[in-house]
Amino acid sequence: MAWLFLIIAGFCEIGAVLALKLAEGFKRLVPSIFFVLIGMTSFYFLSLALTEIPMGTAYAVWTGIGSAGSVLLGMLFFRESKSFIRLLLLSFIIIGVVGLKITS
């Protein structure tokens, strides 16, 4: 269950970053509230995962899911660059996360 909790935490992290972007510096109320709620949910599930998964591994996977997901959302919805080098570096993050899961 700990890995499932960690994956949920990672996806919540993506949602929190998206809400933070949409909050426009906390000038918009609804995305700001969503950021706080989904951020707290992310930390809650991360805390559950930390009961069984080593801290360094859990944190790296959590931030990796959040980072990779945020980059992909930026590319899809916010017209961020889809250059080869960005995609290559993104693949390194994903490879690192998968590697940590395999070796844990």
Please state the separation of Cα 98 from the chain's center in Å: 14
What single-letter amino acid sits at 6?
Answer: L
Calculate mean pLDDT across residues 77-86: 96
Q: What is the pLDDT of residues 49-66, one digit of tens each?
A: 999 999 999 999 999 999
Q: What pLDDT does residue 100 have?
A: 85
Burial class (CB in 10 A: 0-12, 13-18, 19+), 75: middle
Q: What is the pTM of this model?
A: 0.90
Calculate mean pLDDT across residues 58-80: 95
Burial class (CB in 10 A: 0-12, 13-18, 19+), 29: exposed
